[in-house]
A = this chain, B = another copy of it.
Amino acid sequence: MEFGHIRRSEHLPARIAGQIARDITEGRMRPGEKLPTEHFLAKALGVSRSVVREAIAQLRNEGLVETRQGVGAFVTEAHARPIRIEQDDLADRQSFRDLFQLRVPLEIEAAGLAALHHTADDLQRIDEALASMSGGEKWTAEGIVADLAFHRAVAAATGNEYFSVFIGFIAERISLAIDAARAAAVLEEIVEVTIEEHVALRDAIASRDPKRAREAMKMHLLGAAKRLDLTLESY
């Protein structure tokens, strides 16, 4: 039997921060507007100033407000706020597949862009990642790290920071989920196939052929999906 943790009333500062955050994101407080003072909020909400301070600290951390000592706290401009996606464990098969599905078009596009834009340094990093995967023995934790490094290297070769960061995040999550779920179940053979596909992709990038690079990445990811027993439509 598993009950999970019951939170009696879920962290006071977080609730207050959530309330204010909703006020901001739903437009009841507009960028530039000044929040009430900490003293006022504490009185108004019936909590101590510590709690209010922690709530505001959270908002600042989420990029929703800026504080200036001696002046006050102000709602930030929307475009300066970080992109942030909560991560729910990928425990269930559904969300794992969904994230994988998101990854596919990103990586395909990245492969094409990498073929067009890679520098000599980029290619060298790709080759290094490739070597460290071939060198290793099996599909161990090390192998997963090497695989991740390869995909990161390709993403970096796009010259587009966003691809780099997004793919880095997503691929890492997927790797971790695989690691946890089925590291033991996979076989050496898979590594061989993976390496083959990596090499094909690497060569397409090296010859600056975006069409072939996209195709190679597509084949690779579809192959990976199949090996993971995922069915992806639309391809």
Report yes or no: A105 in contact with B98, Cβ–Cβ below 8 A.
no
Chain A interface helix/strand/loop/mixed: helix
Contact residues in B for A104 (Cβ distance below 8 Å): 109
Contact residues in B for A173 (Cβ distance below 8 Å): 79, 83
Report yes or no: A80 in contact with B89, Cβ–Cβ below 8 A.
yes
Pick the interface stretch among A52-60, A125-133, A198-206.
A52-60
Q: 19 new A-B pairs (CB below 8 Å) besides A78-B172, A98-B160, A166-B166?
A: A13-B57, A57-B58, A79-B173, A80-B87, A82-B86, A83-B170, A83-B173, A84-B85, A85-B165, A85-B166, A85-B169, A95-B162, A98-B161, A98-B162, A98-B163, A101-B162, A102-B166, A105-B105, A105-B109
Q: Which residue of B lies closest to A57 (CB)?
A: B54
Contact residues in B for A20 (Cβ distance below 8 Å): none
Whether A180 is near chain B, meaning CB under 8 Å from some CB there, is: yes
How far is A210 from B98 in the complex, measured between Cα atoms in Å?
Answer: 17
Whether A106 is near chain B, meaning CB under 8 Å from some CB there, is: yes
Copies in the complex: 2
Encode A109-131 as 1/0 by CB contact (under 8 A) with B: 10011001000000000000000
20 A-B interface contacts by CB (under 8 A): A13-B57, A57-B57, A79-B89, A79-B90, A80-B87, A82-B85, A82-B86, A83-B169, A85-B165, A85-B166, A98-B162, A101-B162, A102-B162, A104-B109, A105-B105, A112-B234, A113-B234, A116-B233, A116-B234, A214-B234
Encode A39-63 as 1/0 by CB contact (under 8 A) with B: 0000000000010011001100111
Contact residues in B for A81 (Cβ distance below 8 Å): 87
Whether A225 is near chain B, meaning CB under 8 Å from some CB there, is: no
Contact residues in B for A183 (Cβ distance below 8 Å): none
Measured CB to CB, the closest approach of chain B to A143, in angstroms, equals: 17
Whether A177 is near chain B, meaning CB under 8 Å from some CB there, is: yes
Measured CB to CB, the closest approach of chain B to A154, in angstroms, equals: 14
Report yes or no: A79 in contact with B177, Cβ–Cβ below 8 A.
yes
Contact residues in B for A160 (Cβ distance below 8 Å): 98, 101-102
How far is A176 from B79 in the complex, measured between Cα atoms in Å?
Answer: 6
Picked from B58, B78, B90, B166, the residue with its CB within 8 Å of the CB of A61 is B58
Contact residues in B for A180 (Cβ distance below 8 Å): 79
How far is A177 from B9 in the complex, measured between Cα atoms in Å?
Answer: 39
